[in-house]
Amino acid sequence: MQFRFGADAFRRAAVVLVSVSLSWLVTFALKPLLEGQAHLLPFTLAVMASAWYGGLFSGLAATAVSFLIADYFFIEPVRQINLGMPGDLVLLLLLAAVAVAISLLQGRLAKSAAALEDSLRRVELAAQEANIGFHEFIAAEQKQIWTPQMERLFGLAPGSFEGTDDAWIRRIHPDDRERVANSRQQCIEQRLSDWKYDYRAILPDGRTRWIEGRSHLLFSRRGALERIVGVNIDVTDRKELEQGLVERSKELAQSNEELERFAYAVSHDLQEPLRTISMMAELFRRRNASSLDAESNHLLDTILSSTARMKQLIQDVLELARAGNQSAAAEILVESQAIAELAVENLRVAASQKAAHIVIDRLPPVCANREQLLRVFQNLIGNAIKYHSDKPPEIRISASSQGDDWVFSVRDNGIGVDPKYHKKIFESFQRLHSRSEYEGSGLGLATCKRIVQRHRGRIWVESQPGQGSTFYFTLPKNREFPQPVYSLPRKPADKTQASGGCNRAVAG
């Protein structure tokens, strides 16, 4: 409800005066044709006009003036005002209701128009900040309609775009024109409603900007293209960032290759003198076996064990360097069950010495690097054998489906790991025990972590001291590679196989 007083009072009074005067003239001209109180109809128009242009106060004022004029000049007997008749009161109330209704409607529409204008202003500001331009293509006229922001994307002053389809195509980079035109034509021929594309725009000053488009195609009932409406977005910064990431990725891949070659070279150069030291120590022991005392034999044993430990450390460092450097082409669809069985077979001697019992549940096929997945299983199972308690190792390898991942687990009944070390054990050269207790370089779990992360998975442990450990790692599902499935030949018949004291059961 609007009561408009103040500086525009004169304007509202003029609206009332003009509208009522015109209604008086119309009513006077139509008087011979009007019957009864129908003469109030022209004055209703005056009330509506006053309420619309002047607000509620003007509408009510026009209501009162119109009723008095009609009652005084056009109702018999002429020039008498009678407000006591029920009919007159009803008509007066009806005219007032019209004034109120029109005023409310005008106020709501004014607010809606202001809100719409404010929203459009906000959209325009947002589009300007985000470098978004709107366009419309009218197929029948081959005409392009651009907003000012669309023109700014192409370095044009507002209103300077020629408005033709050819003018747009001409501003696309020559290497992208045919691709964009073919993409649009394909959408038209296939009657596709959505069209996504990108191209380089050539600005008047010669600069090039990357533009990404999202458009909607509208067709007639007969299937003919009528219009294309959509937005164009300046994505130059994103494209430059992506290009930078691609170049950085190439540099990183090259650096990894150089690192791997360096690791191979260092491995060879370091292992050669170690082999010489070990061989010479053994030769010295054989030649002087009769004259060596206990201390001399102890010194030779220390030399041989140190060289063996150094050799193993070099191999572990090389394995860690290789873990994240093999290309994706080395990933194929493999039977993880076959890989786990091969890992157990490779650890047969160590498992036999500890009387380990290993159970492999049914495992799913996954897309992975065969050698690296074997290294993960071998390291985790080997640790379960090594860090056993006073009981024979009980180890179970399982897998479960969780969302988009396969979750593998290697559970044991060993000595366990304190929760405060759960993250530390996956770091390089981190050991929780001395070499006199357990052999190792401290790189096995770090290698597993690097391999699993390279396969876009994660690895963790759940364990308590004295309660065993369960190591988990994930591998993604639904990845397709053209290479064939890798698997090992399975022995028929019994699912439980005995091999040198190592009981290995495959649970179905």
Q: What CATH number is attached to the domain comprising 357?
A: 3.30.565.10
Contacts of 479 (CB under 8 A, 6+ apart): 331, 367
pLDDT band at 458 (very low <50, low <70, confident <90, very high): very high
Between the ranges 198-207, 322-331, 427-436, where is the mean pLDDT highest?
Answer: 198-207
Q: What is the DSSP letter of 418?
A: -
Between the ranges 174-178, 235-239, 266-270, where is the mean pLDDT highest?
Answer: 174-178
- Using a 10 angstrom Cβ sphere, with 0-12 exposed, 13-18 middle and 19 or more buried, the burial of residue 491 is exposed
What are 461-481's pLDDT values in tens digits? 998 888 889 999 999 986 554
pLDDT at 84: 47
pLDDT at 505: 47
pLDDT at 246: 81
- Rounded CA gap, 162 and 158, in Å? 11
pLDDT band at 491 (very low <50, low <70, confident <90, very high): very low
Q: Token pair of 91, please?
A: 């008509």
Number of neighbours of residue 397 by Cβ within 10 angstroms:
25
pLDDT band at 337 (very low <50, low <70, confident <90, very high): very high
CB hemisphere CA count around 172 (13 angstroms): 20
Q: How many domains does the chain have?
A: 4
- Rounded CA gap, 299 and 235, in Å? 69
Q: Is residue 4 part of a domain?
A: no
Q: Token pair of 310, please?
A: 């150094």
pLDDT band at 254 (very low <50, low <70, confident <90, very high): confident
pLDDT at 501: 37
pLDDT at 429: 58
pLDDT at 423: 82
Residues 458 and 340 occupy one common structural domain:
yes
What are 81-112's pLDDT values in tens digits? 555 444 555 555 666 666 666 666 666 666 66
Q: Token pair of 153, please?
A: 């994307």
pLDDT at 338: 92
Q: Is residue 410 part of a domain?
A: yes
Instruction: Read off the pLDDT of each residue in 154-162 and give the average, rounded to a whole number.
Output: 92
Closest CA relative to residue 184, chosen from 149, 145, 176: 176
- Which of 66-75, 176-185, 388-397, 400-409 is least confident? 66-75
- Which of 8-17, 43-52, 448-457, 489-498 is least confident? 489-498
Query: What are the CA-CA distances from residue 447 to residues 248, 300, 313, 356, 376 (Å)?
Result: 24, 32, 13, 24, 8
pLDDT at 330: 60
The fraction of the chain above a pLDDT of 70, given in percent, is 61
Number of neighbours of residue 239 by Cβ within 10 angstroms:
16
Q: Provide the H-helix boundaries in 74-130.
A: 86-129
pLDDT at 499: 36
pLDDT band at 322 (very low <50, low <70, confident <90, very high): low
CB hemisphere CA count around 202 (13 angstroms): 12
pLDDT at 35: 58
Contacts of 340 (CB under 8 A, 6+ apart): 360, 363, 377, 381, 397
pLDDT at 30: 66
Residues 390 and 470 occupy one common structural domain:
yes
Q: Is residue 312 part of a domain?
A: yes
Cis peptide before 465 (omega within 30 of 0): no
Q: Please say which residue of 214, 234, 254 terminates a domain.
A: 234
Residue 492 has pLDDT above 60, yes or no: no
Residues 336 and 291 occupy one common structural domain:
no
Residue 284 has pLDDT above 80, yes or no: yes
- Rounded CA gap, 112 and 115, in Å? 5
- Rounded CA gap, 76 and 341, in Å? 115
Residues 76 and 94 occupy one common structural domain:
yes
- Rounded CA gap, 204 and 172, in Å? 12
Residues 87 and 108 occupy one common structural domain:
yes
Q: Please say which residue of 234, 262, 277 terminates a domain.
A: 234
Query: What are the CA-CA distances from residue 22 to residues 16, 57, 78, 261 (Å)?
Result: 10, 19, 20, 100
Residue 33 has pLDDT above 70, yes or no: no
What is the Cα Rg of the chain in Å?
44
pLDDT at 4: 46
- Rounded CA gap, 161 and 170, in Å? 12
The answer to whether the beta carbons of residues 44 and 70 sit under 8 Å apart is: no
CATH number of the domain that 166 lies in? 3.30.450.20
Q: Is residue 259 part of a domain?
A: yes
Phi and psi at residue 133, to the nearest 5°:
-120, 145
Residues 334 and 392 occupy one common structural domain:
yes
pLDDT at 498: 34
Tell me the residue range of the domain where 101 lies: 9-125
Closest CA relative to residue 380, chosen from 355, 353, 417: 417
Residues 119 and 217 occupy one common structural domain:
no
pLDDT band at 497 (very low <50, low <70, confident <90, very high): very low
Q: What is the DSSP letter of 489?
A: P
Q: Is residue 1 part of a domain?
A: no
pLDDT at 24: 63
Helix (H, G, I), strand (E, B) or coil at 160: coil
pLDDT at 436: 47
Contacts of 309 (CB under 8 A, 6+ apart): 435, 439
Residues 179 and 54 occupy one common structural domain:
no
Q: Token pair of 285, please?
A: 């022991």
Residue 181 has pLDDT above 90, yes or no: yes
The fraction of the chain above a pLDDT of 90, given in percent, is 27
The overall pTM is greater than 0.85: no
Residues 356 and 310 occupy one common structural domain:
no
459-463 β-sheet, strand order: 459-463, 469-476, 405-411, 394-402, 357-361, 502-507, 496-499
Q: Token pair of 352, please?
A: 């036999």
Helix (H, G, I), strand (E, B) or coil at 467: coil
Q: Is residue 103 part of a domain?
A: yes
Number of neighbours of residue 229 by Cβ within 10 angstroms:
14
Closest CA relative to residue 232, chosen from 216, 217, 214: 214
Residues 139 and 37 occupy one common structural domain:
no
At 55, which amino acid appears? Answer: G
Q: Is residue 485 part of a domain?
A: yes
Residues 312 and 341 occupy one common structural domain:
no
Q: Is residue 32 part of a domain?
A: yes
Residues 152 and 41 occupy one common structural domain:
no
Residue 435 has pLDDT above 70, yes or no: no
